[in-house]
Structure formats: structure tokens, C-alpha cells
Amino acid sequence: MSRPPLSRAPLALAGAALTVAALAACSSTAAPAATSTAKPSAGTATVAGDSTADFAAACAALPSFDAAITAYPGADSDGPPPTAAQLTSWASTAMPSLTIIAKHVPAGLDPDVKILTTALEGVSHGTPLNTDDATVTGALTALNKSGHDICGLTKVDVVDNGELTGAPATLPAGPVSISFTNTAPAGQTGFILLVAKIKDGAQVTADQVRTNTVDLGNPSIADIVAVAQPGQDGSAAYTTANLAAGHYILSTPVGTPPAFSKILAVDLQIT
């Protein structure tokens, strides 16, 4: 079977992740800045909901919440829309982590968490997420940016400057906070950063992704565990993930759909 042209293979994968990316990492407007700059320390942070809590509990819950966001059903624009039952089931996986976050975040993030909570409550009643709502995308951007700034997680700051730079060759297993920034010229920027865990036994390399000979959207090859899509204004994208040991590939199609010009990709080994 022949491979689809470059403009289609990444587009199918980006289309599947686009709804997620809008929620998980970006907004077309600049994200509101977090008000707290202190490192999390037990009993010292001013928080929403529980004055005795510290932000460390929210930091611990953030990767699980982002993982749930990444698994939002029906994100593939070419597939059927999610059913009410699928939406209700998904909301039940996302809400527990958000409840912990809501209880333990610094007070400055309380309005953002309230926006997200309201959105998830709607999904729990069968209402799809409105990914065009900048208040929702901005709220999650603010949450993830704050996590990147103050959670003390391992940071991976990926930059598209014509190549994907900033990601180390290896990292220890555990929670990471990932940022994705474009500095390449207009029209040559990365559309969406995909963090793919290669299936055990699958012989896949970043070079194969770059040459479009394998498709990370194939579930028999890889699982997309995190996504990050920069804003149209050039703002950075943020997401978190709990990375288990294994082989990962970080990849981005370059340009705008459907006319991607190339694919950038790098290998990452989690030990």
C-alpha cells in the first residue's frame, strides 16, 4: 500500500490531536500569567479552597489531568462525533484530577480552574467541549504554564528553529513539563508538537518519521501521550506528561494544514 502524501499523513494525526491540542496547550491569545512564583512548599502557598494545602498536590495531579485531556474522545475530525455516553465516561476520568487541582492551586489560578470545572461538568452531561472557546483554552494554558514555572517538574523546552532542539537524548522516567516554542520564520513553524511513545517491539526511528515512511498516528506503532500547539500569536504551548520507560519520538509537521512541507522529529529515550 502506498504512503499518503506528506500533506495528508501528518494532517490525519494532527486532526486527531487538534481538539486535544487546543485544550492542552494553547490559545490564539496570550495566556494569563500565573500570579504565584514561589516553589511549592507544604503549608506555605496561598491556595483556592483549602488554606492548609500546598501547590505540590496540584502539581502531582496535573500530568494525570493532561493525560485525560489527551484522551478526549472524538477528536478525529474524520471520525464520528463522540456519543453522550463517551463524553460522560471521559469526564469521569478527567474530573478527579481537576478536583485535586482545584483544591490545591494558588488562588490566582482559581478563576481558570473554575472555567475548566464548568466545561467538564457540561461534558459530564453529554455536552461536547467547545474548543473554539478561548476562555477554556486560555484557562488550561494558564494552568500548564504555571505548572511549568513553579511545579519543579523535569522541564523539556522544545524549540522549532528550523530543527527541533531542546529535547535531551535521555530522561529519567517520571513527570515532565513540556514547552514548545516556534522561532522559525513564518510559514516554516511547527504546527503541533506530538509526544509519541513507541510500542514495545516496534522498530521506529525519528528519521523514518522525518521521511514520512511511518505514521505515528498508527495505534499499532505508537501512542500519542501528549500534545502541544503554539498559539497563532507565536505564544508558547505547555503540557505535562508522566513518561514511563521506553522509546519516544517528539515530532511536528511544519507549515499549516493541509500543505505541510516537512516533518521534524527527534528520538527521546526514557529510562
Predicted confidence (pLDDT) per residue in 225-245, tens digit: 999 988 777 789 999 999 999
Distances (CA, A) of 7 to 37, 75, 214, 271: 42, 19, 14, 34
- Of the candidate ranges 12-21, 82-91, 143-152, 157-166, the one whose mean pLDDT is the lowest: 12-21
The predicted structure's pLDDT at residue 48: 43
Minimum mean pLDDT range among 34-43, 100-109, 111-120: 34-43
| Residue pair 171/154 in contact by the 8 Å Cβ criterion | yes
Angle formed at CA 146 by CA 229 and CA 100, multiple of 5 degrees: 105
Cis? peptide before 258, omega within 30° of 0: yes
Give the span between the Cα atoms of 152 and 93, in whole angstroms: 25
- pLDDT score recorded for residue 99: 96
C-alpha span between 16 and 71 (Å, rounded):
10
Mean pLDDT of the 65-84 span: 84
Confidence of residue 80 (pLDDT cuts 50, 70, 90): confident
pTM: 0.82
171, HSE (Cβ side, Cα atoms, 13 Å): 23
The confidence score (pLDDT) of residue 10 equals 53
Percent of the chain past pLDDT 90, that is, above it, reads: 64
CA distance 107 to 59: 14
Per-residue HEC secondary structure of the chain comes to CCCCCCCCHHHHHHHHHHHHHHHHCCCCCCCCCCCCCCCCCCCCCCECCCCCCCHHHHHHHHHHHHHHHHCCCCCCCCCCCCCHHHHHHHHHHHHHHHHHHHHHCEHHHHHHHHHHHHHHHHHHCCCCCCCCCHHHHHHHHHHHHHHHHHCCCEEEEEEECCCEECCCCEECCEEEEEEEEECCCCCCCECCEEEEEECCCCCCCHHHHHCCCCCCCCCCCEEEEEEECCCCCCCCEEEEEEECCEEEEEEEEECCCCCCCEEEEEEEEEC
Predicted confidence at residue 26, as pLDDT, reads 37
Res 76: pLDDT: 66
13 has a pLDDT exceeding 80: no
State residue 14's pLDDT score. Answer: 53
- pLDDT at residue 74 is higher than 90: no
pLDDT of residue 22: 45
Rounded to the nearest integer, the mean pLDDT of the chain is 82
Average pLDDT over residues 151-159: 96
pLDDT on residue 77: 63
Statement: residue 53 has pLDDT above 70: no
pLDDT at residue 30 greater than cutoff 80? no
For residue 75, the model assigns a pLDDT of: 65
